[in-house]
A = this chain, B = another copy of it.
Amino acid sequence: MNAPRLLLVEDDPALAELLEFRFRQQGYAVTVTPDGDEALLLAAEEAPDLVVLDWMIEGTSGLEVCRRLRKGKATAHVPIVMLTARGAEDDKIRGLETGADDYVTKPFSPRELIARVGAIMRRIRPALAGEVVEVGDLSLDATAHKVTRRGQTIVLGPTEFRLLKHFMEHPGRVFSRGQLLDAVWGSESEIELRTVDVHIRRLRKGIEVDGATDPVRTVRSAGYALEAV
């Protein structure tokens, strides 16, 4: 239950629905909003793995949303794919300058967009494509389902593995117990919040090696975060 999360900012309801459907088919967890301002909030709250951003939207313009995403610490490195009207060369240039990673010109086939998104996802977020993520002295290989720390191989249970993976995809960020349940267990799970504590403990115990400090930080009355040590 660790689908890549995608935030779709599109104010044409028909197009939004179509794309949402197709992306879900591809295994993405999709959040849709027609509004630029809401997009910024959602991006900060939900920590999506990728943003698909229409240029012409209500509220704050696509350009501005893009710029602000880049400025926000938590969202600075989230890849952005822009959707531009045909021939708006100017937008493309300004978009790429502002930090968009790719653009698709309307009209486009959903298949094309999905392909581009897939490509970027693979390029930018190696863990999702099965390559290796490293945070501090930890290293996680999603395909091989393997974790190493200072060269030592570490074995984790499935839940601990997903938990660590989620942390490593957002290093330094504090997640509430509820957010962790959503991200690691799935959003409809009805699990006791305190259960997260137990798995955190198991994760801590699991990644313990000789004289290394615990990279999992407890933030009292807020949640947990993984520190890059």
Binding site for B on A (CB under 8 A): 35-38, 40-41, 43-44, 58-60, 64, 68, 71-75, 111-112, 114-116, 118-119, 122, 128-132, 141, 143-146, 157-158, 172-174, 219-222, 225
> Given the known A-B contacts A58-B115, A59-B115, A115-B59, are A73 and B130 also in contact in the complex, defined by CB atoms under 8 Å?
yes
The interface residues of chain B lying within 8 Å CB-to-CB of A41 are: 118, 128-129
A173 touches B143 (CB 8 A): yes
Distance between A126 CB and nearest chain B CB, rounded to angstroms? 8
Kindly report which residue of chain B lies nearest to residue A59, judged by CB atoms. Answer: B115
A35 touches B158 (CB 8 A): no
User: Could you give 21 example pairs across A and B, Cβ below 8 Å?
Assistant: A35-B115, A36-B115, A37-B118, A40-B122, A41-B118, A41-B129, A44-B130, A60-B115, A60-B118, A60-B119, A73-B130, A73-B131, A73-B132, A74-B143, A75-B130, A144-B172, A144-B173, A144-B225, A145-B219, A145-B222, A146-B172
The interface residues of chain B lying within 8 Å CB-to-CB of A64 are: 119
B173 touches A131 (CB 8 A): no
| Interface SS majority for chain A | mixed
Integer count of this chain's copies in the complex: 2
A122 touches B71 (CB 8 A): no
Cα A225 to Cα B157 in complex, Å, equals: 16
A72 touches B129 (CB 8 A): yes
Distance between A12 CB and nearest chain B CB, rounded to angstroms? 15
Within the complex, which residue of B40, B122, B145, B220 is in contact with A174, where a contact is CB–CB below 8 Å?
A: B145
A129 touches B68 (CB 8 A): yes
